[in-house]
Amino acid sequence: MKAFVTVNLKAGVLDPQGKAIGHALNNLGFDGVTNVRAGKVFELDLATSDAVLARTQAEEMARKLLANTVIESFKVEIAA
């Protein structure tokens, strides 16, 4: 079963990578872009076929390794 963990900087935390991408898009002529935030997504293949267990495991992994919860928030989605 697949789990998708999306990790983003918390609101209020400066995102220089996102800012740079935003400027680059503006310079390419995409004037309608007002703000960009860059994040990460991890696609995990899990041995379990129990969706509830998969979610619990993925959240634990996010807290322990995938996200720095001081400055980042994460979201877990489970797919079949």
DSSP state, 54? H
Q: Does 62 bind a copy of itself (CB under 8 A)?
A: no
- Binding residues with a copy of itself: total (CB under 8 A): 32
Q: How far is CA 38 from CA 1, 5, 20, 24, 46, in A?
A: 26, 14, 10, 13, 26
Site string for a copy of itself, 5-44 (x = CB under 8 A): -x-x---------x--x--xx--x-xxxxxxxxxxxxxxx
The answer to whether 5 and 76 are in contact (CB under 8 A) is yes
Residues that bind a copy of itself (CB under 8 A): 6, 8, 18, 21, 24-25, 28, 30-48, 57, 60-61, 64-66
